């Protein structure tokens, strides 16, 4: 059965699945995409266990190459990640239990050390090997049921093109399903409420709320652009009073997220032709194209399993020479890394981890969430066999 097209394998209960089942959005993530799994600096010669889309994988390097194999020895089930690379330069990993040794590229058994050099089982057994790449300081792995697409096909330009841009990454694990984190991104209006106390926005004008949200499909099944118009920055609520209640400290000139200048006239649009300020993209990320076009944040929800999501904040700057690069890095490490990737994202983490899944009563602010769910389920890449099953099922 097509794995993206069934919910039967999930351990989440029925109520938790209900909002996603009708759109065919799987609990363990969309297969057949590249996802980041770890910063490249965290993977060396010592085998490293990771989980991605509920599959256990061991990563290791040898002779300058990176390998990703299924993290289970087919002999008697030991984790290969507890083993070691005993034959430097061979690109192999040896199981710690009886020394079965696997080729990192093909996954084939190349020696069964305790069986002796002439073991007939050699090359008759293999573990699954995964396409793996190092790019923009991250390790990317393709989990799927088809030949991998080029990595660059799945990356926003700001990450794909490391000649024009450079990236700094910070990540954090959320105790939450990946879908709850992505639902947080297509302009569901949590921003003006949840983040009104974040240091990044504290002194800036209130973000508009009560907006009408519109969505536009992006070309090539990439995702949707999300725009909001006609917002208010304060309101009177019968019997309660006004919101926000106290605004005297919001005295700074609008900048960054607080800037109200229309994106149509922004430098990003004029100079670089960036079409949209906010995009939610497959397999599960938000691309925030800033007003200047010099910087872009990509937040990427990597599904670990049904109850854990790795959230990557991938900060990307356009390269403008050494001095400007030093300034951008200093600004990140002295301010933005803490103010946004730590504190601002920490507010989102608290919300997403605090969700109690079940029936929903959606309202005006959820137009982007509904559009995303519909789009993602209908446009996610599927292996050819899965796609034909899906169309037969729909016929
Ligand atoms: S379990 Fe791996 S070699 Fe025996
Ligand atoms: Fe947020």
Per-residue pLDDT at 16? 77
How far away, in angstroms, is 350 Cα from ligand 2 center? Answer: 10
Closest ligand, as measured to the CA of 71: 1
Closest ligand, as measured to the CA of 346: 2
DSSP 278-338: EEEETTTEEEEE-TTSSEEEEEEEEEEETTEEEEEEEEEEE---HHHHHHHHHHIIIIIII
How far away, in angstroms, is 317 Cα from ligand 2 center? Answer: 21
Closest ligand 1 atom to residue 78 Cα is 1
Ligand 1: residue whose CA is nearest its atom 3: 98
Q: Which two tokens stand for residue 134?
A: 């190092």
Q: State the residue for tokens 């009708």.
A: 22
Per-residue pLDDT at 256? 54
Q: Domain 144-384 carries which CATH code?
A: 3.90.380.10
Q: State the 10-residue block means of pLDDT for the chain, 395 residues long.
A: 43 78 95 98 96 98 96 98 97 98 98 97 98 98 97 97 97 97 95 89 83 95 93 93 79 56 80 90 92 92 97 97 96 94 95 93 94 97 75 48
3-state secondary structure of 112: strand
Cβ neighbours around 331 below 10 Å, total: 13
3-state secondary structure of 133: strand
Closest ligand 1 atom to residue 112 Cα is 3
Secondary structure element (H or E) that encloses residue 377, with its range = helix 367-379
Q: Domain 33-133 carries which CATH code?
A: 2.102.10.10
Which residues have C-beta atoms less than 6 Å from ligand 1? 73, 75-76, 78, 95, 97-100
How far away, in angstroms, is 90 Cα from ligand 1 center? Answer: 19
Closest ligand, as measured to the CA of 191: 2
Closest ligand 1 atom to residue 95 Cα is 2
- The pick from 70, 81, 86, 98 for probing ligand 1's pocket by mutation, whose C-beta has the most ligand atoms within 8 angstroms, reads 98
The segment(s) of the chain belonging to CATH 3.90.380.10 are 144-384
How far away, in angstroms, is 32 Cα from ligand 1 center? Answer: 30
- The pick from 82, 95, 116, 121 for probing ligand 1's pocket by mutation, whose C-beta has the most ligand atoms within 8 angstroms, reads 95
How far away, in angstroms, is 124 Cα from ligand 1 center? Answer: 15
- The pick from 70, 74, 76 for probing ligand 1's pocket by mutation, whose C-beta has the most ligand atoms within 8 angstroms, reads 76
DSSP 153-205: GGS-HHHH-TTTEEEEEEEEEESS-HHHHHHTSS--SHHHHHGGGSTTTTTSP
How far away, in angstroms, is 46 Cα from ligand 2 center? Answer: 36
Closest ligand 1 atom to residue 100 Cα is 3
- The pick from 47, 70, 75, 113 for probing ligand 1's pocket by mutation, whose C-beta has the most ligand atoms within 8 angstroms, reads 75
Nearest to 225 by CA among 275, 259, 156, 161: 275
Closest ligand 1 atom to residue 99 Cα is 3
DSSP 220-269: GG-EEEEEEES-BS-EEETTTEEESS--TT--SPP-GGG--S-GGGSHHH
The segment(s) of the chain belonging to CATH 2.102.10.10 are 33-133
Per-residue pLDDT at 6? 40
Ligand 1: residue whose CA is nearest its atom 4: 98
**Which residues make Cβ contacts (< 8 Å) with residue 380, sequence separation at least 6?**
4, 24, 25, 30, 32, 221, 282, 283
Per-residue pLDDT at 361? 93
Closest ligand, as measured to the CA of 343: 2
Per-residue pLDDT at 14? 78
């Amino acid at each position: 059965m097509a794995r993206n097209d069934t919910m039967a394998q999930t351990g989440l209960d029925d109520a938790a699945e209900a909002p996603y089942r009708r759109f065919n959005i799987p609990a363990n993530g969309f297969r057949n995409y590249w996802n980041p799994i770890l910063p490249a600096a965290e993977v060396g010669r010592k085998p490293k266990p990771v989980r991605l889309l509920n599959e256990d994988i061991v990563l290791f390097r040898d002779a300058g190459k990176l390998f990703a194999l299924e993290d289970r020895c087919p002999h008697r089930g030991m984790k290969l990640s507890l083993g070691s690379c005993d034959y430097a330069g061979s690109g192999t990993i040896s199981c710690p239990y009886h020394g079965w040794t696997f080729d990192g590229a093909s996954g084939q058994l190349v020696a069964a050390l305790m069986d002796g050099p002439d073991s007939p089982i050699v090359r008759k057994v293999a573990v699954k090997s995964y396409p793996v790449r190092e790019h923009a300081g991250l390790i990317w792995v393709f989990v799927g049921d088809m030949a991998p697409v080029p990595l660059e096909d799945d990356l926003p330009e700001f990450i794909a093109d490391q000649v024009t841009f450079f990236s700094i990454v910070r990540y954090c694990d959320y105790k939450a399903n990946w879908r709850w984190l992505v639902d947080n991104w297509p302009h569901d209006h949590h921003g003006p409420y949840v983040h009104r106390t974040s240091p990044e926005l504290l002194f800036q004008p209130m973000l508009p709320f009560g907006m009408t949200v519109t969505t536009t499909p992006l070309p090539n099944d990439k995702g949707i652009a999300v725009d909001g118009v006609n917002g208010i920055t304060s309101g009177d609520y019968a019997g309660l009073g006004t919101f926000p209640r106290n605004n005297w400290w919001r005295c700074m000139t609008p900048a960054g997220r607080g800037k109200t200048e229309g994106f149509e006239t922004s430098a990003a649009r004029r100079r670089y032709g960036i079409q949209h300020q906010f995009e939610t993209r497959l397999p599960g990320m938000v691309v925030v194209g800033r007003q200047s076009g010099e910087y872009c944040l990509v937040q990427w929800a990597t599904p670990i399993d049904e109850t854990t999501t790795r959230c990557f904040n991938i900060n990307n700057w356009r390269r403008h020479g050494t001095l400007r690069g030093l300034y951008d890095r200093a600004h990140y490490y002295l301010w933005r890394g803490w103010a946004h990737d730590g504190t601002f994202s920490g507010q989102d983490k608290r919300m997403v981890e605090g969700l109690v899944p079940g029936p929903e009563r959606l309202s005006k602010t959820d137009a982007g969430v509904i559009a995303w769910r519909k789009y993602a389920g209908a446009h996610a890449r599927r292996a050819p066999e899965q796609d034909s099953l899906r169309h037969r099922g729909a016929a």
